[in-house]
Amino acid sequence: MTQQIRLPSAAVLLVVAAATLTGCTGVIPAVSTPAPLDGMASTPTAAPTTSGPSSHRLPSCDALAAAVTAANPEVLAGLSYDRTTSDSNTAAEAYDQRVCVYTTTDRATQLGITIAVIPFQQPELDNYATLPNAVDDPRLVAHDAVLQTFSAGDGDDGHLDSPLYLIDTEYSITIQGLSAGGDTSTTLTALTVPVATDMAFVTRDLIG
């Protein structure tokens, strides 16, 4: 069965953050995890640009692919931009967003980059930075940002297995791999936490 990257909505990101802040280790809300094709919303007819009038200029998926490949040539090897999958994962929300999903020909392996104009308050970011799933990186200070994996300890085996989030007071960036077999360690071998972190910062630098 073909699976797809699930774009977290603003509400989901806040729920996840709130649950993490309180130390909750319960079941992750189903809406925040990848879902089968038949569980996705209908595909929008418009390309994922911005929703409504806005001064935000989000980079194109081609620009993202070029920048990510320049930084880490192996991470998108064998993958190409899939507009249909990207469109189907663009949330019908009132915030600006760009969803770029790069897939194998059969779409069984997917790597998604999502930019959402979902700002966080600085006190929230300060709290998130102290949590067990926070990832330290010297580049965070440039944007007063927080970097988190969805699961604490993700990357201990050298591979990113859950979504990685880079959030600040202006944007939320998500990097997520997905495999139809459920194990991206063999289908996206180059997707380590350091590589995903590079992808997130490359994306953030393109926004400016």
The Cβ of residue 51 has, within 10 Å, a number of other Cβ atoms equal to: 16
Question: Which residues, in sequence order, are bridge partners of residue 25?
Answer: none
150-157's contacts with Cβ under 8 Å and 24+ in sequence apart are 150/16, 150/28, 150/32, 154/193, 155/192, 155/193, 157/185
Number of residues that make up the chain: 208
Q: Which long-range contacts (CB under 8 A, 24 or more apart) does 129-133 make?
A: 131/20, 131/21, 133/20
Task: Please say if the pLDDT value at position 189 is more than 90.
Answer: yes
- For 188-206, what is the HEC assignment? CCCCCHHHHHHHHHHHHHH
What does the domain layout of the chain look like in residue ranges? Answer: 61-207
Spatial separation of the C-alpha atoms in residues 95 and 7, rounded to whole Å = 13
pLDDT over 50 (residue 69): yes
Q: Read off the pLDDT band of 26 (50, 70, 90).
A: very low
Are the C-beta atoms of residues 191 and 76 closer than 8 Å to each other? no
Rounded Cα distance between 68 and 198, Å, is 8
DSSP E strand stretches across 104-170: 109-116, 146-149, 164-167
pLDDT at residue 135, rounded to an integer? 94
Query: What tokens does 71 get?
Result: 């930084």
Q: Decide: 112 and 176 in contact? Cβ < 8 Å.
A: yes
Look-up of token digits 């071998």: 189
Of 1-10, 23-32, 168-177, highest mean pLDDT: 168-177
Q: Which residues contact 7 (CB under 8 A, 6 or more apart)?
A: 89, 90, 91, 97, 99, 112, 114, 116, 174
Mean pLDDT across the chain: 77
| Percent above pLDDT 90 for the chain | 61
pLDDT at 123 over 50: yes
